[in-house]
Amino acid sequence: MVKPFNSCGPDNEPAIPKHILVDHSPVAMYTCDLLGRITYYNRAAAQLWGREPKIGQELWSGSWKTYYPDGTPMPLDETPMAAILKNKNSFDQSEITIECPDHSFKTLLVFPRQLFSDQGTFIGAYNTLVDISYKENLETRDAFLSAIVEHSQDPIISKNLNGIITSWNKGAEKVFGYQEQEMLGKPITTIIPADRLDEETFILDRIRKGKIVDHFETIRVRKDGRKIPISLMISPIRNGSGKIIGASKIARDISEQIKTQEAIAQYTEDLETISSISRTISEKLDVQKILQEVTDATTRLTGAAFGAFFYKMINEEGEAYTLYSSSGAPKEAFEEFGLPRNTAVFHTTFSGEGPVRSDDITKDPRYGHSPSGIPKGHLPVVSYLAMPVVLSDSKVIGGLFFGHPLPGRFNARHEKLVASIAAQAATALDNARLFEEVVSLSTRKDEFIAMASHELNSPLTSVKGFLQLLNKKNRDATCGSFIDISMKQIGKLQKLVSDLLDVSKIKAEKLQIEKDRFDCKALLEDVIQTYVQDITNHSFNLKLNCQEVFVVADKLRIEQVIVNLVSNAVKYSPKSTTVFITLEKRATDLIIKVADQGIGLREEEVTKVFGRFYRAEERGIAGLGLGLYICSEIVRRHGGEIGVNSEYGRGSEFYFTLPLAIERQADK
Ligand code: ADP
C-alpha cells in the first residue's frame, strides 16, 4: 500500500511540496481515478507521450495506441493500468509499446500501482513509465548487425590484439575454406603466407594506435593451399570504456577484379603490340623483311616453339607457295612439310576458310589421328595454330603456321592477335608487292632506254658522216639546203639520244667526269660565240666580272650545262629577244647565271624542273625533260650548286656554281 504525498521533512521542517518534486522528476508519472480518468501527470510523462491530455480524460479513450512487445495491438482496456484499476494487481512491471502522435514508437517499462486514501479506500492508480527504446534499439541494432555479419558474402573476421581469431563469419568460411569452429582461437597467421607474416605485425601496430588499415591489397592462403588476392579493411575494436581490445577485418576476394584488370592490361598491351607491328611493317616495302618481322613477332606473341609464314609467289609456271620465313626453327625444318600440299590441315588455311586452332593436332578428329600434313621425323607439332593471310578482296596470299611440342598452348587470345597481325601483314605485303612491280618496271624501262639509245647512236653517227661527205661532194643549191636541214635534224636527234644515254649512265652510276684545269670565262665566250651563229632571233647580253677564272672540271660536261641553260632560255622565251648571261668570280667559286624574259615557271614547278622526265605545264614546246636533270647531276658531281629563280609569265634565271681551282703562282 502506498501513502499519498503529504508527509513532512525529517525534522519537521516545512517540506518541499511533494507535487513539485514529482512535477520536475525526470521519471514519467501519472495518476488516474477508478474510472481511468487522468487526475495528474508530470512533465516527464507529457514529454514521453508527446502529448498533454486533459485532466479528467479517460486513459483508454481517444487516440492512444498501445502494442504488446511482439508488435500486436493491445486493446486500451487491457493495458497494465486498466488491469490494475480492475483490481487485477498482477502487474509488477511490464513492457508495452506506445505510438506517439508523431507516429514514432516507444517501448516502455511500466510500473502501475493501486492508490488508496488515508482511510484505505481504493481510489485509483498511479503509473511510472521508463522509456527503454534506447536499450531496445541497441539490441535490435546488435541483432541486425550480427545477422549482417553472419550472412555477409565477404569474410568478416575479428581478432584480439594478439592476433587470435575471435569471430569468423560465413563469408570467411566460403572464401578461405575453413569452418568457424576450426578457426576460433587460432592465430590469424593461419591464412597469411609465410613470406607475408610481417604484414600482421604492421597491421597490429596500426590497430594498437587506433588507426584503420584501408584498401590493403594482399595475398592470403585458403585451406586448400590456393593463394587468393584480397583487399582488407581493418579497424580497431574498442570496449565500453573505449580501450582497444582487438580488430575487425573485412576482406574482399579481388580475384575477379584482378582478373579483369589483368585482362584490360593484356588487351591494351595486345593493341599496342599490334599497332607497333603494323607501324613497323607498313614502313617496310621489302617483302622478305615484312615476312620475317611478322613471323618473329607472331611466334613470340603466341609463345609458339616455331612459326612459319608461307607466302604465295607467282612464278613462270603459275602460282606456287614458298616458305618465306621461319622463326624458332630453321627453314629446312619446315621444308620437310613438303610445302603446302592439299592436305586437310593446310587446305583449310590456304583456301581461306579460316583459322585452325587445335590443342593437340595429332588427336584432332578433324584431321584424323595421323595428320598427313605432318610427316614422320618432322617438327614435333602438338599444339597447332594456322591463320590464312587474306587480302581485302578475299584473295589468299599466304598462311601463318605455329606449332608447339606440348598440347593446349594456343588460346583464343593468340588466335585474335595473329588474325589482327595477319590482316595488317596482308596489306603491307600487297603494298610491297606493288612496289616491287613498280621498281621492276622502272628497272626494265631504264634498261630499255640504255639499250635503245645505244642502238640509235651508231646509225645516227653513220648517217651524219655520210651527210657530211655528201655536203662536200655535191653541193648544188637545192641539195645543199636539204643537206643543211637534214644535218640540223640529225643534230637534234643526236642531242636527244645523247641525253637518253646520259640518263641511263647516271642511273647506272656510270657517268664519267674527266677533270682538267681550264679557264671557264674563255669557255663561256666560245660557247656563246658558236651558239650565236645558229640563233637568229635572240641576242646575248654578256657580263663577265673577271679576266679569267680557272676551274678543275670536265670541260665538255660544263659546256653541256651552259649550252643546255642557254638553249632553254632561248626556247622558253619565244616572244622576247635578249638572253642575259653573267659570270661572276667570287671568293671560292664562280657563278654563271642565264636569265630570260620568257614564260617563267609557276612556284610549284620551280622545285621539280631538275627531276628526271619532268616537264612543266605543256606549252607546245618540244622536249623530253632530261636536260636540267643531267645538268644538275653534272654540277653536283663537280661539287657545285644549281638552281632557278623564276616568275611565272615574266622570265627565269637559271644559275650554277663551280668551285674555283686552287690558284697556282702563274695564274695570279
Ligand atoms: P626539256 O626542255 O627538254 O623539256 P629540261 O630538263 O631542259 O627539258 O627542262 C625541264 C623543264 O623545265 C622544261 O620542260 C620546262 O618546262 C622547264 N624549263 C626549263 N628551262 C626553262 C626556262 N628557261 N623557262 C621556263 N621554263 C623552263
pLDDT at residue 29 in the model: 93
Residue nearest to atom 2 of ligand 1 (CA): 623
Q: What is the mean pLDDT of residues 80-86?
A: 87
Q: How far apart are CA 482 and CA 306, in angstroms?
A: 77
Q: How far apart are CA 340 and CA 343, in angstroms?
A: 8
Fill in the DSSP letter of residue 537. Answer: S
> Which of 604, 628, 645 is the pocket-test mutation for ligand 1 (most atoms within 8 Å of CB)?
628
pLDDT at residue 3 in the model: 40
User: CA 40 → CA 125, 360, 441, distances in Å?
Assistant: 11, 95, 120
Q: How far apart are CA 12 and CA 551, in angstroms?
A: 147
> Do the beta carbons of residue 650 and residue 592 sit within 8 Å?
no
Q: How many CB atoms lie within 10 A of CB 169?
A: 22
630 lines ligand 1 (CB under 6 A): no
pLDDT tens digits for 361-377?
888 776 654 444 455 55
Q: What is the mean pLDDT of residues 484-489?
A: 87
pLDDT tens digits for 297-311?
889 889 999 888 888
637 lines ligand 1 (CB under 6 A): no
- CA–centroid distance, residue 622 to ligand 1 (Å): 10
In this predicted model, which residue has the larger pLDDT, 1 or 605?
A: 605
568 lines ligand 1 (CB under 6 A): yes
The region that residue 179 occupies, defined by phi over 0 for left and psi between -120 and 50 for alpha, beta otherwise, is beta
**Is 70 exceeded by the pLDDT of residue 45?**
yes
Atom of ligand 1 nearest to the CA of 628: 6
Q: Please enumerate, as own/partner, the contacts of 584-590 that have beta carbons within 8 Å and a separation of 24 or more.
A: 584/545, 584/546, 585/545, 585/546, 585/549, 585/660, 588/659, 588/660, 589/640, 589/657, 589/658, 589/659, 589/660, 590/520, 590/549, 590/551, 590/657, 590/658, 590/660
**Is 80 exceeded by the pLDDT of residue 315?**
no
**Is 90 exceeded by the pLDDT of residue 433?**
no
**Is 90 exceeded by the pLDDT of residue 385?**
yes
> Do the beta carbons of residue 365 and residue 386 sit within 8 Å?
no
pLDDT tens digits for 135-162?
767 777 777 778 778 888 889 999 998 8
pLDDT at residue 41 in the model: 92
pLDDT at residue 225 in the model: 94
pLDDT at residue 9 in the model: 40
Q: What is the mean pLDDT of residues 25-50?
A: 91
- CA–centroid distance, residue 551 to ligand 1 (Å): 27
User: CA 599 → CA 35, 140, 618, 619, distances in Å?
Assistant: 130, 103, 12, 9
In this predicted model, which residue has the larger pLDDT, 459 or 645?
A: 645
The pLDDT confidence band at residue 504, using thresholds 50, 70 and 90, is confident
pLDDT at residue 86 in the model: 85
Q: What is the mean pLDDT of residues 548-567?
A: 95
Q: What is the mean pLDDT of residues 38-66?
A: 86
**Is 70 exceeded by the pLDDT of residue 603?**
yes
pLDDT at residue 564 in the model: 94
User: Which stretch of 18-22, 293-297, 366-370, 418-422 has the lowest confidence by average pLDDT?
Assistant: 366-370
AA identity, residue 509: E
The pLDDT confidence band at residue 436, using thresholds 50, 70 and 90, is confident
Q: What is the mean pLDDT of residues 57-64?
A: 75
598 lines ligand 1 (CB under 6 A): yes
User: Which stretch of 7-16, 92-101, 150-159, 310-319 has the lowest confidence by average pLDDT?
Assistant: 7-16
User: Which stretch of 11-15, 109-113, 128-132, 484-488 has the lowest confidence by average pLDDT?
Assistant: 11-15
> Do the beta carbons of residue 426 and residue 389 sit within 8 Å?
yes
632 lines ligand 1 (CB under 6 A): no
